[in-house]
Structure 1
Amino acid sequence: MPVLTKICGLSTPETVDAAVGGGAAWLGFVFFPNSPRNVEADAATALVRRLPGHVRAAAVLVDPDEALIRRVTATGVHALQLHGNEPPERLAALRSPGLELWKAVPVRTRADLEQARLYRGVADRIVYDAKTPVGSLPGGMGLRFDWALLDGFDHPLPWALSGGLDDGNIAQAVGRTGARMVDVSSGVESAPGVKDMDKIATFLQSAAQL
């Protein structure tokens, strides 16, 4: 089974087209003003409309309010990827036909993985990401956690591996964890929020060989 790839934090037509052309299964759009990858709803709508039917779009959100949820779902995204402190009850309230719900679980220790179990029955996918320092962005900082923490873990839901991935370590990451989906952002950038089309292409080529 091929490893599914998600290129996250896209904000321009050129990089969207590069990700689609390289074979990405999912594209991610960040709706968080504190992030250098933040996009407005109108811009995201235009980018989502560029996607062929076999490529899906995920909106990355941090503790969104109802107004933002309405704006984001109107863009045509296929999944909400929640990176804040959203409890299971929040995800249950957000459930809607045709819209997947993903929950990011920040990881630094083996005990952190247990948070994933709380979302069984309300999330469609868990995204294991590196826990970032207090006061910093909740993701997209190029940090990775110890992949050995996933050894033997009984995953409660389908999951994706995120945090510090790039062309140089994706093979090791997948080989160690058995991940069947990977999520990359800063690893395909030339600067924070600036996607590099060559890095996107190289990352996707490497993933296709796994």
Structure 2
Amino acid sequence: MKLKVCGMKYRENIETVAGLQPDYLGFIFYEKSPRNFNQDIPELPETIKKTGVFVDASIDFILEKVEKYNFKAIQLHGNESAEYCKELANTINRSDESGRNKIEIFKVFSIKDEFDFEILNPYEGIVDYFLFDTKGKEKGGNGYTFDWNVLKNYNSTTPFILSGGIGLQEIEKIKAILKTDLPIYAVDVNSKLEIKPGLKNIRDLEEFKNKIAVIPA
């Protein structure tokens, strides 16, 4: 299972978090977010996939950021349609022989107590991963989890990323859900492992990474 750390903002903190070798680091380009990113990204190890996070942005805006920062993944956190996602994938025009996008595309869907998984059908075969976050006041970073029991009704083979208020207190819940046959690709952490918006708590993040690293696959 992969680890994505999202909402990075401060240069020194970015470099320190990168030293922990997460699989993905997320940078948010949404002016209403307290974690909005508007600076240069320091040099990172090639093993870390830099991820641009966007909310209902134009495709041109996303392409501009992809070219500037050399993103390897794009996370769509707004109301982007399947048609939009297809146009973005075709515009990036970097699919490999397997049909997957070389620049990965994550499509976010927010959940609270229930969710109609039929909504995902138009996105199948277009995006690489779904990301399930907590429905709340903010576009991410709400600090609490949704009811993971909802995922028992997930009937797709598309792997997904589990997000929304995940921190050290959720380790046992992660252990439990990984015992199911759900196609969980990664966990995404943000606000629960922060000192303030955009500034990650290195000690807690390292503890979290070490604990999920020993969870049996």
> TM-score, structure 1 length as denominator?
0.87
Q: Distance in 1 between matches of 2:54 and 2:175?
A: 26
Residue pair 1:145, 1:163 contacting (<8 A) in 2 also: yes
- The aligned residue for residue 106 of structure 1 is 110
Give the % identical residues.
30
Q: Secondary structure at the match of 1:169?
A: helix
- Provide the residue aligned with 1:131 in structure 2: 135
Give secondary structure in 1 for the equivalent of 2:107.
strand
| Aligned position for 2:211 | 206
Q: Aligned equivalents of 1:107 and 1:91: distance in 2?
A: 20
Cα 1:173–1:114 change in 2 (3 A) is farther
Using a 3 Å threshold, how does the CA distance of structure 1 residues 155 and 180 change in structure 2: closer, same or farther? same
Cα separation, 2, equivalents of 1:173 and 1:195: 20
The residue type paired with residue 65 of structure 1 is S
What is the root-mean-square deviation in Å for CA atoms of aligned residues? 1.7
**So what's the TM-score if we normalise by structure 2?**
0.85
Q: Please give the alpha-carbon distance, in whole angstroms, between the structure 1 residues aligned to 2:108 and 2:153.
A: 20
| Alpha carbons 1:29, 1:58 under 8 Å: kept | yes
Does the 8 Å contact 1:59/1:77 carry over to 2? yes
**Alpha-carbon distance in 2 for matches of 1:65, 1:195:** 29
**1:209 CA displacement:** 1.7
Q: How far does the alpha carbon of each residue in 1:128-185 deviate from its partner, in whole angstroms, 9 at most, with x for none? A: 11111xxx32111112110111125213411110001001213313422553410010
1:113-141 deviation per Cα after TM superposition (whole angstroms, max 9, x unaligned): 33222210110100011111xxx321111
> 1:18 touches 1:200 (CA, 8 Å); kept in 2?
no
- The 2-side partners of 1:176 and 1:99 are apart by 28
Question: Which residue, 74, 89, 92 being the options, matches 1:80?
Answer: 74
Classify 1:174/1:107 alpha carbon distance in 2 versus 1 (closer, same or farther; 3 Å).
Answer: farther
- Poorly superposed stretches of 4+, deviation over 4 Å: none
> Which AA in structure 1 matches 2:80?
E
State the Cα distance separating 1:38 from its structure 2 match: 0.6
Moved more, 77-86 or 113-122: 113-122
Aligned residue among 190, 198, 204 for 1:193: 198
Looking at structure 2, the residues matched to 18 and 207 of structure 1 have their Cα atoms a distance apart, in angstroms, of 19
Aligned to 1:31: 29
Whole-Å separation in 2 of the counterparts to 1:118 and 1:143: 28
Within 2, Cα distance between the matches of 1:105 and 1:174? 23
SS in structure 2 opposite 1:86? Answer: coil
**CA 168–140 in structure 1, closer or farther in 2 if over 3 Å, else same:** same
Unaligned runs of 5+ in 2: 95-101
**Which residue of 119, 122, 126 maps to 1:115?**
119
Residues 105 and 112 in structure 1, CA contact (< 8 A), matched pair in contact too: no
Structure 1 contact 62–82 (Cα < 8 Å) conserved: yes
Figure out how many residues of one structure are paired with residues of the other and give that number.
200
**Structure 1 residues 5, 62: CA separation in 2 closer, same or farther (over 3 Å shift)?**
same
- CA 1:114–1:104: 2 relative to 1, 3 Å: same
How far apart, in 2, do the equivalents of 1:68 and 1:170 lie? 37
1:1-210 matches, cutoff 5 A: 3-40=1-38, 42-43=39-40, 46-47=41-42, 50-74=43-67, 75-95=69-89, 96=92, 97=94, 98-132=102-136, 136-176=137-177, 178=180, 179-210=184-215
Is 1:9–1:29's contact at 8 Å kept on the other side of the alignment?
yes
